[in-house]
Amino acid sequence: MASTNGAVIVIMGVSGAGKTTIGRRLEKQIRYKYLDADDFHSQFNKDKMSAGIPLTDEDRMPWLESLRDAIKESLINKKGLILGCSALKKQYREILRSGDPDYKLESYASAVKFILLDVPAEVLIARLNKRAAKGEHYMPASLLQSQLDLLNIDESEGILKVDATLRPESIVNSIKEMHPFQGYFQS
């Protein structure tokens, strides 16, 4: 049986990195619920992105606060959670980390852990064009560059990275082998 002692794994990265794909697979392997940050966007934000207009910090704030509250609820109830969320800027990640009631800003020591799905731009463009051709998502490929421009990580945050150009099962295995997560996947 998987460990459910309450922790949050945020699968982060730009549009097309594979957050939903990997998060859903992880959910099947551990007893952590998967939440997709896309489902927390207001209709206003979704309409804006569909129209090819990048969100501003102001647009993202209520969305990040609702995600922080979902994280808090999960931690208070000692439930494990996997969240798929772009979390592009440190400022955004600090809001998510503060879902841990004990979190001290800029300490980066939180029950909320981040894993970056690392994928080069040319692979992302190909994935997003293919997805758009199937009409599977509101997010147009034209917004990718704005996301790449915002993605910024400080070394001191200690965020783990995984090569997310691999096949989904290999990515999931890489995550399971990462030291901080080994305890989550005991069977």
Q: How many CB atoms lie within 10 A of CB 159?
A: 18
Q: How many CB atoms lie within 10 A of CB 149?
A: 11
What DSSP character marks residue 90? H
Q: Which of 30, 34, 60, 95 is the binder for ligand GCO (CB under 6 A)?
A: 60
Q: Which of 7, 21, 41, 60 is the binder for ligand ATP (CB under 6 A)?
A: 21
The owner of tokens 């080069």 is 120
Q: How far is the CB of 183 from ligand GCO (least distance, A)?
A: 29
Q: How far is the CB of 61 from ligand GCO (least distance, A)?
A: 11
Rule CB under 6 A: say whether 86 interacts with ligand GCO: yes
Q: How far is the CB of 153 from ligand ATP (least distance, A)?
A: 16
Rule CB under 6 A: say whether 127 interacts with ligand ATP: yes
Restricting to residues 128-147, name those near ligand ATP by CB under 6 A: 131, 137, 139
Rule CB under 6 A: say whether 71 interacts with ligand GCO: no
Rule CB under 6 A: say whether 17 interacts with ligand ATP: yes
Closest-CA residue to 57 (of 159, 155, 150): 150
87 and 12 Cβ atoms separated by less than 8 Å: yes
Which of the stretches 46-54, 96-104, 161-169, 177-185 binds ligand ATP when contact is defined by CB under 6 A?
161-169
Closest-CA residue to 142 (of 59, 53, 58): 53
Q: What's phi and psi for 3, nearest 5 deg?
A: -70, 140
Determine the longest span between alpha carbons in the chain, in angstroms.
45
41 and 63 Cβ atoms separated by less than 8 Å: yes
Q: Which of 15, 45, 74, 110 is the binder for ligand ATP (CB under 6 A)?
A: 15
Instruction: List the beta strands (DSSP E) in the chain.
Output: 8-12, 33-36, 81-84, 112-118, 160-163
Residues forming contacts to ligand GCO in the complex (CB under 6 A) are 15, 37-38, 55, 60, 86, 88, 139, 147
Residues forming contacts to ligand ATP in the complex (CB under 6 A) are 13, 15-21, 38, 84, 86, 127, 131, 137, 139, 164, 167-168, 171
